[in-house]
Structure formats: structure tokens, C-alpha cells
A and B are shown apart, each in its own frame.
Chain A
Amino acid sequence: MKILVGIKRVVDYNVRVRVLPDGSGVDTDGVKMSVNPFDEIALEEALRIREAGNAEEVIVVSVGGDECQQQLRTGLAMGADRAIQIQTSESLQPLSLARAFLKVIEREQPGLVILGKQAIDDDNSQTAQMLAALWDRPQATFASKLVLNGDSAAVTREIDAGMETIEIDLPAVISVDLRLNEPRFVKLPDIMKAKRKPLDVISLDDLGVTVEGNVSVGHHAPPPQREKGIMVDDTAQLVQELKNRGLI
């Protein structure tokens, strides 16, 4: 079985993002870029499945300009066998991304596609579900536990009320939540080794993907700031303040 894993290049988790003064976007100039944290968890899970002998090959896929090769190399250093860059200068929305992934699925015939549950830049949380719909295959989103049983899998999902378990037939799309695993650290020799692993570049146009632009992103604004609050000296004052405001 092959496993496809999606990798997105995003502004690093620790960067405090600022909106550009003209509202055209956020400032990414000189900002540290990383693999979307959920995608690292997706890749870790794929690697563990391969290491347990349940998959032969793990392929990392990213859609974007050549700068995303950096994140694909990180994926290769973590242990992926090869990488595919779907090259485009456009910033694609989830439906177009799902269409591009579907084209790769048709070429590679994976048994599992594992994606992060959301990217921490646009926070859309759409691509995995859309890909499953277009592929007409099962989706198991927000996975916190994955158990393979031959041609099917039992997936425990994090939902608002607690945990839900579903059983899905493969091939299928899984989107991963935080608690599925803890991704491994990349070691220096692995980074060297990753440089020699294959990284194929396919242009988005060659894949024949129709880009869907029904949603256009316009003005960006910083969030409204809450008014500066007060500090109280002790617990008694805190309780008094809550009473004064009619909160208790």
C-alpha cells in the first residue's frame, strides 16, 4: 500500500502574524516558514504505518511555488520515500487543492491519504473532506486514533461531545488531530539523506486541474482589541469586582 500525505508551507506556529497596513494580506516578509503542524502529525502516522509493515511507500505532496520544496525536503528528512510538488504560482483554495490531489491519487493509487485537519494559516479545514467527496471514498476527520485491519480501518475521532469511532473501508481520506501522535525530530544525517531522495515537479496545468475561484479573499483587518482591564490586589477584591459587575 502507498500512503499520500499532504504538506503545506505555512507561517511558523510561533510567529505572531501582523496584518499589512494596506489590508492586502499579512506580513510574511522574512517570517519563518514551516510545515503545517497537523501535516507533521499526518506524516508521522504514515511513517509509523510503514514501519509496522502495513505500507510500502510514503509520498509527500505539496501544492505551491518552488519555495514549498523546502517543506517537502523536511518531509523526506522525517522519513518519506519521495515527494511530489504540484507547481503553481497561484494561491489555491481547498476545492482546487482537492482536485489537484485527486489527480495525484489517480496516478499513484494510494490506499490511504492522510492530511492535517486544518492549516494554521487560513484555518479552513476543508481539503480532506472535499477530497473524500470528489474521490467518492470514506472520510475520517479529526482522527486521534487509527487502527488498520486489512482492507478497513477503525478511526477514533475527536468530536465536541467526546470521542466517536467509525469504521471505514480503504482507500480512504483521514484528517488528523493533535493527539494522534507526537512527530519525530529530524536528525542531521536524515537531512543529508533527504537531499538524494526523489522530488518530482508536476505543473498544475499539466495535471488538468480546473481552478475554482468562487470565493475571493479581500480586505484584511487586525482583530479589534479588547479594552485594557484592571488588576486587583487580592481575592476579596476580585469577588467584589465580579459582584459589582453583576457577574456573580
Chain B
Amino acid sequence: MSKILIIAEHDGQALNISTAKCVSCAKAIGGEIDIAVFGSGIDAVAAQAAAIDSVNQVIAVNAEHLAAPLAVNWAAEAISMAEGYSHLLGPSTTLGKDLMPRIAALAGVNQVSDIMEVNGPNSFKRPIYAGNALVDVETAAGATVVGTVRTASWKAAESSGGASVDQREAGSSPASHTRFVGMEVEGGERPDLQSAARVVSGGRALASEENFELIYQLADKLGAGVGASRAAVDAGYCPNDMQVGQTGKIISPDLYIAIGISGAIQHVTGIKDAGTIVAINKDSEAPIFEIADIGLAGDLFKVIPELESLLG
């Protein structure tokens, strides 16, 4: 039987929703599911992890050198407790992408990146070429499976469980060659792009940082998160962390509204799992309309104010 260890993602106070999505992937693999929580002062986070359905136990390691999520320290800690586990999973967020390959290398295996479907305990489906192809990958029997879970492909597991929390001493020692300096968190009060039920995104056609305010206003009216195409980010209309697509965030909101975005394949790959895609673009031939559920060919500077007034 599989024995699965998930490395939890959190900000010190709250568990990131990606962890509950990893649990859903682990359930599809089948077997006993443990969650490891690393950090300093993480009792609340450990309790949230323990509440996720189908979790066998939470292993909480409270240590000063694990307070910042430095891959070098977290990977060493994960490896120190990896014995006996058939699968080590983390989310394919920037945290998991940084961390899990380091764990995989220490375990002497290649990683299965961006698991979107589980065919069996040793067989997985994942996207390549910006989602232009889906491949089945098999892992060798007996070798530890280290994988990242493509969060947009999985629903978060429910939270009504009550697993035990095992408090443990750190099994690793700190690496002195890597030091955490600081973090600048953007976004503010708006819903997090990766877990928002609604997302409004703006593209190059917004034409300026000032005009991008229109996107924020509409998003606020809808209680939506805000995204952007690479073109809008590169042009400096909005911060980098809003970029949706192959090299940005892969998201799966119930409603995605793309405004002034042409729909390059690299962008589309980031929204394929959205429930309903709405596209508003002046150019009725724009490729975004090929994948939109509802399209409106029109000038965004006219449509956005109309939308706002109709939404009341």
C-alpha cells in the first residue's frame, strides 16, 4: 500500500489551499496520507492540516531554521523523515517548484512535475509544451515517487477530519550558506488569484497602468481576483505576480473574464481549467474567442463602464 507524505505550504499563520488540493491528489493515488508542517510557531497551521479529510497524521516540526521556507532547509528536513514513504508530494506553486526537485535529487529520483491526473500509484498524467500535449508518465516500481501537484487540476479536500498532530524535533540542521532576507507581498485585500472563484484579467489593450485601474474596479465589483497577460506585465501595467499562463500562474476559477487579451497559447494554458471563460476584445478574430464560452467583440473602454453599471 502507498504511504504518502505531503509537504504543507503556509505563511506561518494559515495553511495554503494548495495543501488540501495535494490531499485530493494523494487520495486518488490511494493509501495512508501524512502531512508534514515545517516552520516556527506553527500550531495553528498544524491544526488546520489535521482537519483535512482523509489525513492519517500531521507531523509538525517547530524549528527556528525552518521558519522561512528555504528549499535547502525544508528539503533536508523532508528527507530526514522520508524513510518508509512511497510518495512525497508538494504543490506546483512557486514554493513546491523550488522545494520538491531538491528533495527528488536527494532521494535520487526524477520528479513527476505538475500531476494533473492519477492513472495509478505509479502512473500519472501531466502537461508539456504549455499544455499542448498531455503525457502519461510511469515511475519505476520500488522507486520513491516525488511529485508536484498541478493545483488547478484538483479540488481542495474538505475539512471535517481530526487527525492527530505529532510534534517532532528537527531531523536536519540549518544550512549557513543560504539566508532569508525578506518578502514583499503584493495584492493586498483582493482575493488570491490562485484560489479566487472569479478572476478578471487585463491584457495589452489596456494600454497603460492608469487604464489597468478599470480592471481593478471591475474585479472589486465582482469580488474577483485580478490577473494579467504577459504582455500587460511586460509593459509594466501591473505587477509580475499577476501573470497568468505557462510561465506565470495556472488557475481554475469558476468565472474567468479576459479583457483586451488576444489569447496566446502561453496565456490560454493558464486558464484551460476555468469553469466559464468570458472574452472581451475589440478584434473579433482574436484567438481568445476560440476558447471562450461567451465572447463579446467590443471596445473594452466602452464595455467595462457598461458592465459596471449593469452589475449595479
Binding site for B on A (CB under 8 A): 11, 13, 16-19, 26, 93-96, 98, 117-118, 120-134, 137-139, 141-142, 144, 154, 157-169, 172, 177-179, 212-223, 226-227, 229-239, 241-242, 245, 247-248
Interface string of B155-181 (1 = CB under 8 A from A): 000000000000000000001111111
Contact of A17 with B129 in the complex, beta carbons under 8 Å = yes
Would you give 17 A-B contacts (Cβ < 8 Å), ordered by A? Answer: A26-B128, A95-B105, A138-B72, A142-B94, A154-B181, A158-B241, A160-B241, A165-B181, A168-B177, A172-B177, A217-B137, A226-B272, A230-B294, A231-B297, A236-B310, A238-B294, A238-B296
Q: Contact at A95–B187, with CB atoms within 8 Å?
A: no
Given A129-B102, A231-B295, A235-B306, 10 additional A-B pairs, CB 8 A: A120-B129, A125-B101, A126-B113, A138-B175, A169-B176, A221-B133, A221-B134, A223-B134, A226-B293, A229-B292
Given contacts A229-B292, A232-B296, contact A161 B11 (CB under 8 A): yes
Answer whether residue B120 sits at the interface, using C-beta atoms and an 8 A cutoff. no
**Contact B138–A16 (Cβ < 8 Å):** no
Whether A11 contacts B129 by the Cβ 8 Å rule is: yes
Contacting residues of chain B (256-312) with chain A, CB-CB under 8 angstroms: 265-266, 272, 275-278, 280, 284, 289, 291-298, 303, 306-307, 310-311
Chain A residues closer than 8 Å to B246, beta-carbon distance = 120, 123
The verdict on A220 contacting B133 (CB below 8 Å), with A98-B105, A154-B181, A164-B182 known, is yes
Q: How far is the CA of A131 from the CA of B240 in the complex (A)?
A: 27
Q: Is the interface of B mostly helix, strand, loop or mixed?
A: mixed
Q: Once bound together, how far apart are the Cα atoms of A236 and B291, in whole Å?
A: 21
Q: A232-B294, A235-B307 are in contact. Are A129 and B137 (CB under 8 A)?
A: no
Q: Are B105 and A229 in contact (CB under 8 A)?
A: no
Smallest CB separation, A180 vs chain B (Å) = 11
List, in ascending order, chain B residues with CB within 8 A of A154's CB: 181
Say how far A165's CB is from chain B's closest CB, in angstroms: 4
Whether the pair B241, A123 counts as a contact (CB closer than 8 A) is no
Q: In the complex, A98→B102 CA distance in Å? A: 11
Contact B186 A230, beta carbon cutoff 8 Å: no
Interface string of B61-102 (1 = CB under 8 A from A): 000000000111001000000000000000001110111111
Most chain B beta-carbon contacts within 10 A, residue among A13, A229, A248: A229
Contact B138 A216 (CB under 8 A): yes
Partner of A213, one of B140, B179, B294: B140
Q: How far is the CA of A239 from the CA of B310 in the complex (A)?
A: 7
Cβ 8 A contact of B183, one of A19, A164, A221, A231: A164
Contact between chains at B296 and A129 (CB < 8 Å) = no
Mask for B95-131, Cβ within 8 A of A = 1, else 0? Answer: 1011111101110111111100000000000011111
Q: A138-B178, A229-B294 are in contact. Are A223 and B127 (CB under 8 A)?
A: yes
Binds A, one of B25-33, B37-45, B50-58, B247-255: B247-255
Decide if B294 touches A94 in the complex (CB within 8 Å).
no
Contact status B111-A126, CB under 8 Å: yes
On chain A, the residues within 8 Å of B109 by CB distance are: 95, 212, 214-215
Q: Which of A95, A126, A239 has the most CB of B within 10 A?
A: A126
Task: Tell whether A121 pairs with B129 under 8 Å between CB atoms, given A130-B104, A161-B187, A165-B181.
Answer: yes
| Inter-chain contact A142/B98, CB cutoff 8 Å | yes
Q: How far is the CA of A220 from the CA of B135 in the complex (A)?
A: 4
Question: Which of the residues B104, B140, B311 comes within 8 Å of A95, measured between beta carbons?
Answer: B104
